[in-house]
Chain A
Amino acid sequence: GPKVLQIPSHQIIDMGQMVTLNCDPVSNHLYFYWYKQILGQQMEFLVNFYNGKVMEKSKLFKDQFSVERPDGSYFTLKIQPTALEDSAVYFCASSPPGLGVYEQYFGPGTRLTVL
Chain B
Amino acid sequence: GQQVQQSPTSLVLQEGENAELQCNFSTSLNSMQWFYQRPGGSLISVFYNPSGTKQSGRLTSTTVIKERRSSLHISSSQITDSGTYLCAMRTGGYKVVFGSGTRLLVSP
Contacts and interface: CB of A to CB of B under 8 A. Distances in A.
Interface of A: 31, 33, 35, 37, 42-45, 48, 50, 55-56, 58, 89, 91, 100, 102-109, 111
Contact of A102 (B48, B97, B100): B48
Interface string B65-108: 00000000000000000000010101001111111110000000
Contacts of B31: 102-103
Contacts, number: 56
Q: Which of A37, A58, A103, A111 has the most CB of B within 10 A?
A: A103
Interface residues of B, number: 23
B41 A43 contact: no
Nearest to B97: A45
B10 interface: no
Contacts of B30: 102
Contact of A48 (B42, B45, B95, B101): B95
Contacts of A91: 43
Given A33-B94, A44-B98, 17 more contacts: A33-B96, A35-B98, A42-B99, A43-B88, A45-B98, A55-B94, A91-B43, A102-B50, A103-B45, A103-B48, A104-B45, A104-B88, A106-B35, A106-B42, A108-B41, A108-B42, A109-B42
Q: Is the interface of B mostly helix, strand, loop or mixed?
A: strand
Contact of A42 (B35, B44, B94, B100): B100
12 contacts: A31-B94, A33-B96, A37-B41, A42-B98, A42-B101, A43-B86, A50-B94, A56-B94, A58-B95, A104-B96, A107-B42, A111-B41
A46 to B, nearest CB: 10
B45 A106 contact: yes
A102 B90 contact: yes
B84 to A, nearest CB: 10
A111 B50 CA distance: 30
Contacts of A103: 31, 33, 45, 48
B43 A106 contact: yes
